Amino acid sequence: MSHENSSSQDAPPAAPARHFIHEIIAGHVQAGRYGGRVGTRFPPEPNGYLHIGHAKSICLNFGLAREFGGTCNLRMDDTNPTREDVEYVDSIRHDVQWLIEGWAEDSLTLKKVGDASGAGVSGKNRGGTPLEPFYASDYFPQIYEFAVELIRKGKAYVCDLSPEDTERYRGSPDRPGQDSPFRDRSAEESLALFQRMRAGEFPDSARTLRARIDMSSPNIWLRDPVLYRIRHTEHHHTGKQWCLYPMYDFAHCLSDYIEGVTHSICTLEFEVHRPLYDWILEALRLPRELPRQYEFARLNLGYTVMSKRKLLQLVQDRIVTGWDDPRMPTISGLRRRGYPAEAIRHFCELIGVTKFNGLTDASLLEFAVRENLNKRANRVMAVLRPLKVVIENYEDSRVEMMEAVNNPEDPSAGTRNVPFSKTIYIEQDDFMETPAKKFYRLFPGHEVRLRYAYILKCVAVEKDATGRVVELRCTIDPDSKAGGATAGRKIKATIHWVSAAHALASEVRLYDRLFTVEHPDAQAGGDFKSFLNPKSLEVITDCRLESSLKEAQPGQRFQFERLGYFCVDSKESAPGKPVFNRTATLRDAWAKERQKTG
RNA sequence: UGCCCGAUGGUGUAACGGUAGCACAGCAGACUCUGAAUCUGCUUGUCAUGGUUCAAAUCCAUGUCGGGCAGCCA
């Protein structure tokens, strides 16, 4: 964001994390495996938006490529046309680009539009040629030829079993499967049938191509897994060219090989697929050194859900406003919420990479964003829930400009002038008619400091018919502003304020965690949606903001002093009428104190 | 009752046979024109039982607990 300080640019570069995959790769590089080259890939299926769990994988794959001077291919893993869409490929491209911008762009490898060879163009060599992500579907012709090769070698056969029978013959984890009656089909016959499958002669699911491995293997994925299935469905990238689509297991290892990937990093649930990954590549007797698969634990974050299925449900059921709702753990949601890419990357660094399936504390993400924004976000005064204050000993028409520091963490951010006048707004929370224990803000007869202005004393309280406090009558110590005779007086509390006449009325959205329980998908017998937090969004429409905020641009981030970090909503703000999203609250010792004392 | 993987404070992670450390969270204090930030201090841990070894979080065995695998999904 160009409006923010540059101080974040000189933050010390985080040392690359050491973890088991890092060690494996470092070992390979040292031993000269793959000619010392490192090639990774990030292979999302374009059937949903990317989330913070994908960010972990992106940071891992791009981080490794970056550190070892290698490449990381962005590849659409699009082998199932029935659930994929270009809307998703566009969002994925954008999110990946945004996340790695200024960090690992040089490692990002794309390809020339229309090129299906698997050859990439990495960031360093990017010219004017239009580029696009890799697509597994670009390799359908090659993958088809590999399948033919497997049939010729007697390692695959066409099977006529129905989906139901295929399942039946597969057996179960503790019971071996049975050979398909078509298992002994000759290579010639399988070849002919496979060609007819491709020609569209058979309806969906009528036949499959299967690997001939071992129906009694303890590993279910080795029980003659399906390699190809018939789907008379148009594909978002290849159109109507195919009615035959490869399965993940067949397409993935081959795509890796075609692209020259060396280290194929995926999540734990694919661990049992690794023998199949290796089997396919080895069965083909390929000339080049083979890629290998390594698995790590996916991210689980407290108070949210991470599966694309569940996130999609939240979108479809209108529980959130879309994939980019600021409450969503999606990259686009976090971005709209105000999370800088750098903060997300730092979070991914903090959580580490292991094979342990844990649940990461939501407070770690909050820590990452606070730490980042504390250094880069300009301070500003904003009153979310206004309480009118009239200063009795201040002239009616007088307006003073008070000099305020933009960012105490960054002197280069400079200062600004904030107008002060007789009638101001303060935060309702900063006043208590009868002060609670340890409350040292404003109450009748008591003094607080107005940030960058005078010491203020409450002399009277005005209420409406219902007894609600609607206005405070106060006086100031006229010598107490900066440089004044009594400026040095020690006052326990400093509160923020906004001049009523100059204030910008604005809408602010307060976001809280989406769920009320830390692990919504692990609740016994519970539908995760029954644990939604009804207070995950609070819209406040009559906030009074410092006038300088009138020019705030979409995406710009601020610290509202004493309240938290806020970001101008990029969708619903209008020129001169910014809408703010709360990214995170500030730590709040008083809130804790209040909770303790009840 | 099959196969694969895992287990270190509340949470996440380090220690690669030789002093269990870091971060977050929590607690207490200092400082403060943000009850923020910053600084200081503190609490809390090797799943269990055996074995190998001068020495085990680390190696071995058994058990316990947790996760994954039976899509023509990825």
A407 shares a domain with A368: no
pLDDT value for A265: 98
- Asked if the model's pLDDT at residue A8 lies above 70, the reply is no
DSSP strands (E only) in A309-464:
378-380, 382-383, 386-391, 400-405, 415-420, 423-427, 447-450, 455-463
- Asked if the model's pLDDT at residue A93 lies above 80, the reply is yes
A559 shares a domain with A467: no
pLDDT value for A546: 97
Measure, in angstroms, how far nucleotide B17 C1' is from residue A213 CA: 42
A516 shares a domain with A374: yes
What one-letter code names the amino acid at A438?
Answer: K
CA–CA distance, A565 with A578 (Å, rounded to integer): 15
Q: Does A106 contact strand B, using a CB cutoff of 7 Å? A: no
pLDDT value for A70: 97
CATH code, A190: 3.90.800.10
pLDDT value for A452: 98
- Asked if the model's pLDDT at residue A66 lies above 50, the reply is yes
Residues A126-140: tens digit of each pLDDT = 878 899 999 999 999
Instruction: Name the residues in A554-593 having a C-beta closer than 7 Å to nucleic acid strand B.
Output: 559, 561-562, 586-590, 592-593
CA–CA distance, A304 with A154 (Å, rounded to integer): 48
Residues A563-593: tens digit of each pLDDT = 999 999 999 999 999 999 999 999 999 999 9
CATH code, A119: 3.40.50.620
Measure, in angstroms, how far nucleotide B13 C1' is from residue A288 CA: 37
Residues in CB range of A297: below 8 A, 6 or more apart? A267, A268, A353, A354, A355, A356, A357, A358
Fill in the DSSP letter of residue A239: B
- Asked if the model's pLDDT at residue A427 lies above 50, the reply is yes
Per-residue pLDDT, averaged over A102-112, amounts to 97
Residues in CB range of A442: below 8 A, 6 or more apart? A426, A430, A431, A432, A448, A456, A458, A472, A493, A495
Per-residue pLDDT, averaged over A391-398, amounts to 98
Residues A137-173: tens digit of each pLDDT = 999 999 999 999 999 999 999 999 999 999 999 999 9
Q: What is the pTM of this model?
A: 0.96
* Contact criterion met (CB below 8 Å) for A254 and A308: no
A94 shares a domain with A24: yes
Closest CA to A548 of A502, A481, A598, A517: A502
A419 shares a domain with A488: yes
- Asked if the model's pLDDT at residue A10 lies above 70, the reply is no
Of A440, A473, A496, the residue at which a domain comes to its end is: A496
Closest CA to A94 of A364, A336, A368: A336
Q: Chain B bases under 7 Å from protein CB?
A: 1-8, 10-16, 23-27, 33-38, 66-74
Measure, in angstroms, how far nucleotide B25 C1' is from residue A403 CA: 37
Residues A513-549: tens digit of each pLDDT = 999 999 998 876 678 999 999 999 999 999 999 999 9
Closest CA to A195 of A136, A152, A248, A155: A152
Closest CA to A4 of A348, A372, A332: A372
Per-position b or e across A396-429, b if 16+ CB within 10 A of its CB? eeeeeebebbbbebbeebeebebbbbbebbbbeb
3-state secondary structure of A350: helix
Residue span of the structural domain in which A258 resides? 3-129+251-301
Average pLDDT over all residues of chain A: 95
A512 shares a domain with A566: yes
pLDDT value for A598: 58
Instruction: Name the residues in A244-283 having a C-beta closer than 7 Å to nucleic acid strand B.
Output: 245, 247-248, 251-252, 268-273
Q: Does A479 contact strand B, using a CB cutoff of 7 Å? A: no
What one-letter code names the amino acid at A500?
Answer: A
Q: How many domains does chain A have?
A: 4
* Contact criterion met (CB below 8 Å) for A251 and A143: yes
Residues A287-346: tens digit of each pLDDT = 999 999 999 999 999 999 999 999 999 999 999 999 999 999 999 999 999 999 999 999
